[in-house]
């Protein structure tokens, strides 16, 4: 699978967690709060959050995209082919099934069916990464992204399950196994004291990077469906420890409550991802949370207070970046004051020094590089998701052919290696 003269560093990869993770690793006294799975009468797996079905829907999204791929000729109507989850299946130009005959498609699907055991097995995954030419990857198990959303009104259950998730990473995989598998433990900001307690555990056990959700922070126990800036000084006790320890910060695409704002635009605020309308998709998913997280960290002087902090944004794309950087610079040049301290640099310079971002697989990389340069850009495969790359090394020829070999290597390896502190 590897076609490059160097090994890849991947900023957006995924590791499959076991369905019993939370039951197995939650503190026994809080077992009733664990995330569990049960089988429905129809034979489907239903996820329960402290006994309550998930509020997050995905079904309609997948059905719509698959229908478009069938229409484009990338998929057949065959149910086995249609229902099997494999990397790249939801892409357009980089779809691994595009242009193949029915027999060829079946062969590719069987290849990935055979590989799927490796998605949640540490040793098999390392072997697969060797085949793919990947040296190291940030890997995000899926369920952690939704814990804050599902437990917004039950902060104790939120932290109990986060502790279980982080304990599983440490005991079963490792935060940075062999300097190759980087699984960031999760931190929620709903309760400062509990967050500091969790941070102390993570620092003591050697976590090099932690993750938070995109957008605004949780509003706290007294305002569970509200929000705060991640850079609000109320969280300084958390960030001072992270900054002191030299731990990196990342955020990954996941469920937020941003659809609540769509009520002001004649939309249903109870919709979640799978049932988002076009307007809700535009305003509540991905870009807006990324813009809010980035602009609040910069314009609320987070890096002035915590100069060791650096941030990776995974699976949030880069379409929003040029506009956001220009808009922040405009506010700065107009003399608009920061809320929590004076900025000593232009926001665009802060962004270039403090952030790395991974374009989506089929985004125009040249467009964002022309605005912010090469240094903040990293490769993200989103493997093995349907909208991810089936063959990560092919990204260079498909998306980076206009860049020099040196700049290709910076995107595919050096920039993320530098962020992670791994020799390039």
The reported pLDDT for the residue numbered 81 is 67
Please state, in angstroms and as integers, the Cα–Cα distance from residue 202 to each residue in 86, 189, 316, following that order: 33, 15, 25
Q: Identify the pLDDT of residue 341.
A: 87
Q: What is the DSSP string of 37-54?
A: EEE-TTS-EEEEETTEE-
pLDDT given at position 148:
93
Q: Spell 357-379 as b/e; 16+ CB within 10 A means b.
A: bbbbbeeebeebbebbebbbbbb
| 232-280: pLDDT as tens digits | 999 999 999 999 999 999 999 988 888 999 899 999 888 888 888 888 8
> Between 3.20.20.140, 3.40.630.30, 3.20.20.70, 3.40.50.300, what CATH number should domain 8-20+119-420 receive?
3.20.20.140
Residue ranges of the alpha helices (H) in 205-276?
236-245
> How far is the C-alpha of 379 from the C-alpha of 314, rounded, in Å?
9
DSSP letter, residue 120 = G
Q: Is the pLDDT confidence value at 411 over 60?
A: yes
pLDDT tens digits, 304-320: 999 999 999 999 999 99
Geometric angle at alpha carbon 164, from 218 and 382, rounded to 5°: 70
Q: What is the Cα–Cα distance from 406 to 412, expressed in whole angstroms?
A: 10
Confidence of residue 375 (pLDDT cuts 50, 70, 90): very high
pLDDT for res 82 = 66
CA–CA gap between residue 360 and residue 320 (Å, rounded)? 12
145-158 pLDDT, tens per residue?
Answer: 889 999 999 999 99
Mean pLDDT of the chain: 91
Greatest pairwise CA separation for the chain in angstroms: 63
Residue 59 confidence class, pLDDT cut points 50, 70, 90: low
Task: Mean pLDDT check: name the lowest of 47-56, 121-130, 198-207.
Answer: 47-56
**pLDDT of 76:** 63
Question: What digits encode the pLDDT tens for the residues 152-209?
Answer: 999 999 999 999 999 999 999 999 999 999 999 999 999 999 999 999 999 999 999 9
b/e for 127-149, b at 16 or more Cβ within 10 A? ebbeebbbbbbbbbbebbbbbbb
- From residue 413, give the alpha-carbon distance in Å to each of 228, 248, 309, 327: 34, 17, 21, 30
Q: Give this prediction's pTM.
A: 0.93
């Amino acid at each position: 699978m590897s076609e490059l003269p160097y090994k890849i560093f991947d900023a957006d990869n995924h590791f499959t967690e076991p369905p019993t993770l939370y039951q197995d690793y939650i503190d026994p006294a809080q077992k009733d709060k664990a995330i569990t799975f049960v089988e429905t009468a129809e034979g489907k797996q239903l996820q329960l959050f402290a006994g309550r079905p998930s509020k997050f829907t995905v079904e309609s999204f997948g059905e719509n995209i698959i229908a478009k791929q069938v229409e484009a000729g990338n998929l057949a109507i065959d149910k086995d082919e249609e229902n099997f989850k494999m990397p790249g299946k939801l892409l357009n130009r980089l779809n691994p099934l595009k242009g193949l005959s029915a027999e060829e498609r079946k062969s590719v699907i069987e290849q990935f069916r055979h590989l799927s055991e490796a998605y949640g097995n540490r040793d098999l995954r390392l072997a697969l990464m060797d085949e793919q030419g990947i040296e190291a990857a940030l890997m995000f198990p899926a369920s952690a992204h939704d814990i804050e959303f599902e437990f917004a009104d039950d902060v104790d259950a939120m932290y109990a399950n986060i502790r279980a998730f982080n304990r599983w990473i440490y005991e079963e995989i490792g935060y940075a196994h062999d300097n190759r598998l980087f699984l960031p433990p999760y931190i929620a900001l709903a309760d400062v004291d509990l967050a500091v307690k969790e941070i102390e555990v993570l620092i003591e056990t050697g976590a090099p990077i932690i993750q938070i959700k995109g957008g605004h922070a949780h509003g706290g126990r007294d305002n569970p469906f509200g929000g705060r800036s991640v850079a609000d000084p109320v969280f300084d006790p958390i960030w001072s420890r992270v900054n002191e320890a030299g731990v990196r910060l990342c955020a990954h695409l996941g469920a937020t409550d941003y659809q609540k704002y769509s009520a002001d635009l004649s939309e249903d605020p109870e919709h979640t991802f799978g049932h988002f309308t076009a307007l809700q998709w535009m305003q509540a998913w991905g870009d807006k949370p990324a813009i809010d997280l980035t602009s609040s960290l910069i314009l609320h002087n987070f890096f002035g207070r915590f100069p060791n902090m650096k941030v990776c944004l995974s699976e949030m794309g880069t379409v929003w970046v040029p506009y956001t950087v220009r808009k922040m610079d405009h506010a700065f040049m107009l003399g608009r004051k920061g809320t929590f301290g004076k900025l000593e640099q232009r926001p665009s310079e802060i962004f270039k020094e403090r952030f790395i971002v991974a374009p989506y697989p089929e985004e125009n990389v040249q467009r964002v590089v022309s605005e912010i340069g090469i240094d903040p850009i990293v490769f993200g495969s989103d493997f093995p998701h349907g909208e991810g790359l089936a063959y990560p090394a092919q990204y260079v020829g498909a998306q980076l052919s206009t860049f020099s070999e040196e700049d290709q290597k910076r995107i595919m390896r050096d920039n993320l290696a530098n962020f992670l502190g791994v020799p390039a």
